[in-house]
Amino acid sequence: MKRLEGKVALITGGARGQGAAEARLFAAEGARVVIADVLDADGERLANELQGSAIFQHLDVTRPEQWEAAVQVAEKHFGNIDVLVNNAGILKLAPLESCSLDDYLKVINVNQVGCWLGMKSVLPSMKKAGRGSIVNVSSTAGMEGIAGGTAYTSSKFAVRGMTKSAALELGHLGIRVNSIHPGGIDTAMARPPEYADFEPSAIYNSLPIARIGRPEEVADLALFLASDASSYCTGSEFIVDGGLLAGKTFH
């Protein structure tokens, strides 16, 4: 039996990168998938590729009314939502001294508020289903700081914290909540314009697994948490970082 057979999943930021890898894998494992993103053309293309297993829904995760519409579309087409992957995120890097309040709040609104709105918005649907798994995508920046990343790090620590609080509140409803903490993953977001002249290979070459991660490797972890294989896991962090956080080596 496929691992997500009969389940309905909503994946934010699902049009490309980690979200697209998750959408493909979830559909292959039997889920019916709502691909939610602001990238309409990419999202529609992916939904067409998945041939009836998925639909695309425009979703700006900072807008409560768009969340409400996305949940309604999911229920209308597929039924109650069983899985939410809060994958949408943005990265803006700037030193504290030069980071504007507007840029700080843009990151907080997408990465932090968007995640909170997602959990809140799917809750009625999951309660009707009598089950649910929420997978919040944080980052290794939710475990340690990044110089030049006060906004991003703040948002990802917040995702880690709200995951634990939600897990405590929702466990008795049969709803599990966990966070994923990717390190460097080969996606468009991992190549911000601020780092256009920066060569990251030295960082990855020094890891125990000496390479950048693949979106499919994050998707495999999300699948585990979305599926019943993780039925006793809630309120926890799951790290996929090639050993980045394991410690320091001296050569």
Instruction: Report the catalytic residues.
Output: 152
- On whether the CB atoms of residues 201 and 184 are closer than 8 A, the answer is no
Length of the chain: 251
- On whether the CB atoms of residues 185 and 140 are closer than 8 A, the answer is no
| 24, 34, 40, 62, 88 from 51: Cα distances, Å | 11, 13, 17, 29, 23
Q: Among candidates 8, 3, 4, 171, which has minimal Cα distance to 82? A: 8
d(CA 88, CA 46) in angstroms, rounded, equals: 16
Q: Among candidates 15, 56, 65, 13, which has minimal Cα distance to 33? A: 56
- On whether the CB atoms of residues 182 and 213 are closer than 8 A, the answer is yes
d(CA 156, CA 162) in angstroms, rounded, equals: 10
